[in-house]
Structure 1
Amino acid sequence: MASQLQWQCHRFDGFTPLGLYQVLQLRDQVFVVEQRSIYGDIDGTDLDCWHLCGRDGDGELAAYARLIAPDEKYPGAVAIGRVVVAPALRGHGLGRQLMAEAIAQCARLWPGVPMALSAQIAAQELYRQFGFETEGEPYDDGGILHIDMRRPAAAA
């Protein structure tokens, strides 16, 4: 496996049918099957957000996140969601690469805007490494404990 991924960030209409299938398959594999979280993954948000896909040297989907415009999910902030790394590729730093790229893309698309996300409690330390701080109290989301986190806007 290559240590660096090739990144693409595009709108919904930038997907090929196979690319969309791969994203939905990865999200289903991890969030629904592996984590046993029954929730409506196909929630309409995909149509209006940006999709960040990291592919390995063979073109296989290794990591994914969706980027949601300011005020759509969190007041005054961009949302980073559906953050996922393929199970077979975990433990190689791809989660950090994914978050670094997601933050860079959000800053490019929406400069000067804070970022927010709903973190699984077990992953909040990863997000803290990127300047996210917890807000509020933990809550159940699809049977998994989450907490909201926010990162201030980067200085221009």
Structure 2
Amino acid sequence: MPLQKELLWTLLPFNELSTTELYEILRSRSEVFVVEQNCIYQDLDSKDLQCLHLIGREEVAGPLAAYTRIVPPGISFTEPSIGRVLTTAAFRRHSYGKQLMLKSIEVVKAHFPHQGIRIGAQTYLDQFYQSLGFKPDGEKYDEDGIEHVEMCYTQHT
């Protein structure tokens, strides 16, 4: 396995994304969640306008390697949330998923201190999220043909 680099992170609210950054995000989300997962669903759900967008790259001007959107409390759940978690296909061999989630948790803690984090996780990633401190909270459910479960992370001060 190639040596893992520390990704370079950009965190922006929607209205500060350049058109190029927005295009990269939407293209990557479509590639992963619609094409790869063979799941036809409405990705553009109006939540993006209120979210922070975390972009990871290996190089400053390099292609998008990893991405999440940080959803403020009261939009998807009562708690803040981390959603649209992805590593693009070209960068998966570097195992950036853990680095991406740790950075996302750090961002949530900084922007929404002393609150839990709730996610809707695909169940096949249950062990991965548990290794980061998330715990299943509720019954499994179907979302767009993919089994999910809500998971919670309790912030420690």
Q: TM-score, normalised by structure 2?
A: 0.94
Question: Identity rate of aligned residues, in percent?
Answer: 37
Q: Which moved more, 1:2-11 or 1:48-57?
A: 2-11
Using the TM superposition, give the Cα deviation of residue 3 of structure 1 relative to its aligned residue in structure 2, in angstroms. Answer: 1.5
Which residue pairs with 1:42 in the alignment?
44
Distance in 1 separating the partners of 2:152 and 2:124: 16
Q: TM-score, normalised by structure 1?
A: 0.94
The residue type paired with residue 7 of structure 1 is W
SS of equivalent residue, structure 1 residue 66: strand
Q: Count matched residues.
A: 154
Distance in 2 separating the partners of 1:150 and 1:91: 28
Using the TM superposition, give the Cα deviation of residue 59 of structure 1 relative to its aligned residue in structure 2, in angstroms. Answer: 1.9
Distance in 2 separating the partners of 1:145 and 1:113: 26
**Alpha carbon RMSD of aligned pairs, Å?**
1.2
Which residues in structure 2 correspond to 1:8-27 (within 5 Å)? 8-27=10-29
Question: Hey, which bits of structure 1, 4+ residues long, moved more than 6 A?
Answer: none
The residue type paired with residue 116 of structure 2 is P
Which residues in structure 2 correspond to 1:7-156 (within 5 Å)? 7-57=9-59, 58-75=61-78, 77-155=79-157
Contact residue 123 and residue 147 of structure 2 kept, 8 A: yes
Distance in 1 separating the partners of 2:81 and 2:142: 18
Using the TM superposition, give the Cα deviation of residue 91 of structure 1 relative to its aligned residue in structure 2, in angstroms. Answer: 3.3
Distance in 2 separating the partners of 1:13 and 1:68: 15
Summarize deviations over 1:59-118 as a string: whole Å, max 9, x none. 21000000111122112x111100000012113220000000000000011111100101
Where does the alignment leave 5 or more consecutive residues of structure 2 unmatched? none
SS of equivalent residue, structure 1 residue 137: coil
